[in-house]
Amino acid sequence: MVEDKLVNILGTNFPCVDTGFGRNKPVDVVIRPEDIDLVKPEEGIITGRVTSLIFKGVHYEMDVMANGHEWLVHSTDLFPVGSEVGMKVDPFDIQIMHKPASEDEEAVELEE
């Protein structure tokens, strides 16, 4: 979390609606594939290239490579493989959670 209402996701700052996480604190971020909007490259917060495309009957499932990371996107709009696209996410569609202090923090202790 960069600061209130601003989170860094894979090297790019995205506006969000969350507050109270502190400045420059690690957080877990979840964005649903259908909440990523593909737009013209100049209209996005981050740009990438469509690397795969599958029609799922109601929507297209696309992999987009951006900043060295693969993003899964579901959209009713078609962007052919090889297309350069912009990506943006409505701030209300970014879910932010506190990151556990360690991977073991959520482990349940079992009696043997």
pLDDT, one tens digit per residue, over 53-98 is 999 999 999 999 999 999 999 999 999 999 999 999 999 999 999 9
**What pLDDT is stored for residue 111 in this prediction?**
59
Average pLDDT, the chain: 93
CA dist 35 and 85 (Å) reads: 15
CA dist 43 and 31 (Å) reads: 19
| In the predicted structure, residue 108 carries a pLDDT above the cut 80 | no
pTM of the shown model = 0.85
Domain extents in the chain: 6-100
Both tokens of residue 100? 């556990």
| In the predicted structure, residue 106 carries a pLDDT above the cut 80 | no
The mean pLDDT value for 7-20 works out to 96
SS3 at position 98: strand
Q: How many residues does the chain have?
A: 112
Task: For the domain made up of 6-100, give the CATH fold.
Answer: OB fold (Dihydrolipoamide Acetyltransferase, E2P) (2.40.50)
